[in-house]
Structure formats: C-alpha cells, structure tokens
Structure 1
Amino acid sequence: MHLAQLNVAHARAPIDGPELASFVELLEPINNLADSAPGFVWRMKESEEDPTATITHDYGDHLLVTFSLWESLDALWSFVYRSAHLGVLRRRREWFLRIAEPYVVLWWVPEGYIPTLAEGMERLERLKAHGPGPEAFTFQEPYDSSEAASLPAAAEARK
C-alpha cells in the first residue's frame, strides 16, 4: 500500500500577485526536494514544463492543492518535518489563511493506484465530517495500512 496525502491551503491573494511572490519562488526547489525524497512515489502536477504551476481545479478561488503518494507514513513525515520543507511550512502564515478545520488528509491506496483529485477532496470532507478513521486520517491520528487494506474502497481500487 502507498500513502496518499492531500493538503489544501487558502492563499491570502492570487498566486500571481506580489503577496505570494516569495512562496512561488520556493515552489520549484521544494517540489524538486519532494520528487527526490526517499519514499516519494508520485505528485500531481499541473505542468511538466512549468515547475511553479499550481494545480487547476474547481474547488474555490485561491485554494492551493498539494497531492502526492508516498511509500510510508515515515517517508512523508521525514519530508514534511525533517527537510528544508519545514522552513517553508513555518512561513505558511505569510501566504495562507489560518483554517479552523482539517486541511491535510492521509489515506492508504493500493500500490499502482493513482487517486483522483475528486477522491482526495472527498477524503478531506470525510475527515471533516466524521473525524479520523482508516479511510481518512491525520499525522496526529494515523492508521496502519493493514487497517485500510480490508476496506471496500481499497478492494474497489484494486479492480
């Protein structure tokens, strides 16, 4: 099983505005760091040619999305909290509004399966509505991949 993660952030301004210029400057190096991190599997990209292009979607203005797959919870944790990514994370209030509800969701998927953005947003909504469980959880309340492997959604994804 691989770990899927979706992270949403409400930007304080349009992505091409001067308020987010320092964030946009960090996109390419941090994305390159993620792509080469131990345990990294896949990351949704808007463009192969433009490393600073953010994912286009219909989920709201100024909502930035990061969506990726990892070999393990430890691999993702190490990238988020034990790499240069942590410095960017610490600056998030410069660029993004504080959110009083979950903005990161994790869940297990079968190896080789690439979830859709819609599935990720559904997992986030599930986490908001029902709290952590094997189908949608957080770093603070993780679930083991064996708990997710027997769920109907995992069986469906393997088809």
Structure 2
Amino acid sequence: MATTHGTPTTGARAELAQVNIARLRFPLDSPQLKVFVEGLDPVNAVADAAEGFVWRLRSDSGNATDVQVFGDDWLIVNMSVWRDAEALTDFMYAGRHRELLKRRREWFEHAHEAMTALWWVPAGERPTVADAEERLLHLRQPGPTERAFTLRTRFPAPAQAH
C-alpha cells in the first residue's frame, strides 16, 4: 500500500506533480540492477532533503518499486510533488541522481512514448497512481497541454490547480 511522505507546503496555491515510469530490462533482484537498487535509498534521501521537495510516493519498502503502474510488473514508477520545476530540475541534474540518470539505458528499455509527465496540483493534494496514469495517457495523445506537460514544454502554475 502506498503512503505519503513529506509535509504540505503552506502558502502555495499550486505544486508541481511529476511521474516517471520505466520498463525494467531485468528483474529488480538481478545482478544487472544491483547498482540501481542500491542507489534508491541514497537518492531518495537526497530528494527528501532537497530545497523545494514536498512529497514522494512510497510503499512500505520505503520506495515505490513495488507499486504497480498500468498493470505491468515490468514497469516501475517514481512520483513526487515539488514546489516548482526549478526545484525538480535542480535535484534531477545534480549529484547521485545525475550519476544514476546517466546509466538509465543499462537498466531500462528505451521508450518510444511519453514516460514522464508533469502537472499542477492544489497545494497539499497528493496525486495517486491512477492520476499519474491518466496524465501520461493524456500527454501521449495530444502532446503537452496544461493538463500534462514536460520539462521542455512547461505551463505556468494556474491560479487554481486542477
């Protein structure tokens, strides 16, 4: 069962939700994924302490590798909420996360469709996996819109997030 982590930001009208899914090339307990799996807790600890971090999806395991997405056991999901896109990118492209990101092709299949989506949520609201699936499917059809977008094609926070 997924639980929440983090504290709602006060005073913000909207926060940035993100989902990132990936299709594994090997089972999580395989030797090929050892470096990735061993990196999860340290990277999550950095995220949890990052400026602008609000919340991340996690199960009883402490991460979300056992949370199912799209009914596919070979997909893993990462979902979090941030103050804004700048806070998210500051975390993504620095330190240990950046090191692991460089090696993603070793561990995950190359995707030909959107596997990452961003959207605004009202401050304090925590998205569900079903929300994330819907946003990814939306992004795959019409492309980036205010409903689901990417870091390259961003939309400003609305006065009232939906």
Q: TM-score, normalised by structure 1?
A: 0.88
Please point out which of 47, 55, 69 is paired with 1:42: 55
Which runs of 5 or more structure 2 residues have no equivalent in the other structure? 1-13
Q: How many residue pairs were aligned?
A: 148
Task: Provide the C-alpha distance between the structure 2 equivalents of 1:37 and 1:69, rounded to a whole number of angstroms.
Answer: 12
Please point out which of 4, 25, 38 is paired with 2:38: 25
RMSD, aligned CA:
1.5
Percent of pairs identical after alignment?
A: 43
Partner of residue 2, structure 1: 15
Distance 1:130 1:53, change over 3 A: closer
Q: TM-score, normalised by structure 2?
A: 0.86
Please point out which of 77, 100, 103 is paired with 1:88: 100
Secondary structure in structure 1 of the residue aligned to 2:36 = helix
Large movers: runs of 4+ above 6 Å: none
Which runs of 5 or more structure 1 residues have no equivalent in the other structure? 155-159
Cα displacement (A) at 1:83? 3.2
Partner of residue 4, structure 2: none
The structure whose residues are more often helix, as a share, is: 1
Bigger relative CO (Cα 8 Å, ≥ 6 apart): 2
Distance 1:51 1:138, change over 3 A: same
Task: Provide the C-alpha distance between the structure 1 equivalents of 2:15 and 2:110, rounded to a whole number of angstroms.
Answer: 29
